[in-house]
Amino acid sequence: MPSPDQDKPNMRPDIERRFIACPLFREVRAGPDGEKTSLIGYASVFYDGTPATEYRIFDDLIERVAPEAFDRMLADANWDIAGLFNHDANMLLARRSAGTLRLSKDSRGLQYILDLGPTSISRDVAAFVERREIVGSSFSFTADSVRGQRWEENGETSIRTLTDLDVFDVGPVTFPAYEGTTATTAAAASRRAREQCDAFRRQVAKERDAQRVARFLETHKQE
């Protein structure tokens, strides 16, 4: 299963990231060792049939996250995921293997809870959230070309639905790349999605050409 250390996601060419501008919440509760602070946010939202829950990666490419996209990861208790600030491994806030990062899904999407420790970065991020200076979250992932996604066409637009993801990290970010839940990102932000979209369109064109040839041969055979 993915590990933030072993797989070094920042060095992988196939890593992708998605951002959501959605408020985080800071929860403070009393404990035997004093106050404990947690951050609660959504790393991703599921497509519910409305444009507000899909990402427009490019003018001709829309991406959606299916409700089952995180099921395999959530079911595996040994799947290690890091809670990072700005996807920076040097700004560790929590970790699933340590029991300080909890993930769950509801009808809206993938929710995370980070139990912050007594570190300077944790205190800083908690203060930023309290002051509403951090208003977004993100997650990094890879999607298998067969198991992890499905493609369809709607006119001139390709639709990529993410169905089964390998997740590496989640957490708050300073600059969400997307407004609301709609992507307004430059091409470099999702090079992998662009490449796979182009591959899908080449395959569709190839299949259409084969169908045209088959129809042509069938017509002339009847003659």
For residue range 98-129, list pLDDT tens digits in order.
Answer: 999 999 999 999 999 999 999 999 999 999 99
pLDDT number for residue 61: 86
Is 81 domain-assigned?
A: yes
Whether 65 shows a pLDDT value over 70: the answer reads yes
Whether 94 shows a pLDDT value over 60: the answer reads yes
Distance CA 84, CA 98 (A): 14
Instruction: Give the number of residues written for the chain.
Output: 223
Average pLDDT over residues 17-22: 85
Question: How much of the chain, in percent, has pLDDT values that exceed 90?
Answer: 44
pLDDT tens across 179-203, in order?
Answer: 433 333 333 345 666 666 566 556 6
Distance CA 93, CA 116 (A): 6
Residue 100 to residues 14, 81, 201, Cα–Cα distance (Å): 27, 10, 43
The alpha helices in the chain, defined as continuous H runs, are: 71-75, 120-130, 191-222
Residue 93 to residues 77, 107, 132, 214, Cα–Cα distance (Å): 19, 26, 18, 58
Q: Is there a contact between 17 and 88 (Cβ–Cβ < 8 Å)?
A: no
Can you tell me which residue has the tokens 């001139």?
156
Whether 3 shows a pLDDT value over 60: the answer reads no
Is 4 domain-assigned?
A: no
Range of the domain at 168: 9-190
Residue 213 pLDDT class (50, 70, 90 cuts): very low
Bridge partner residues of 178 (DSSP): 183
Is 160 domain-assigned?
A: yes
Residue 146 pLDDT class (50, 70, 90 cuts): confident
pLDDT number for residue 179: 40
Is 89 domain-assigned?
A: yes
pLDDT number for residue 185: 35
Q: To which H or E segment does residue 210 belong? A: helix 191-222
pLDDT number for residue 89: 94
Whether 76 shows a pLDDT value over 80: the answer reads yes
Is 207 domain-assigned?
A: no
Q: What is the DSSP letter of 187?
A: G
Is 53 domain-assigned?
A: yes
Number of domains observed in the structure of the chain: 1
Residue 70 pLDDT class (50, 70, 90 cuts): very high
Whether 95 shows a pLDDT value over 90: the answer reads yes
Is 146 domain-assigned?
A: yes
Is 54 domain-assigned?
A: yes
Q: Is there a contact between 81 and 63 (Cβ–Cβ < 8 Å)?
A: no
Average pLDDT over residues 75-85: 96
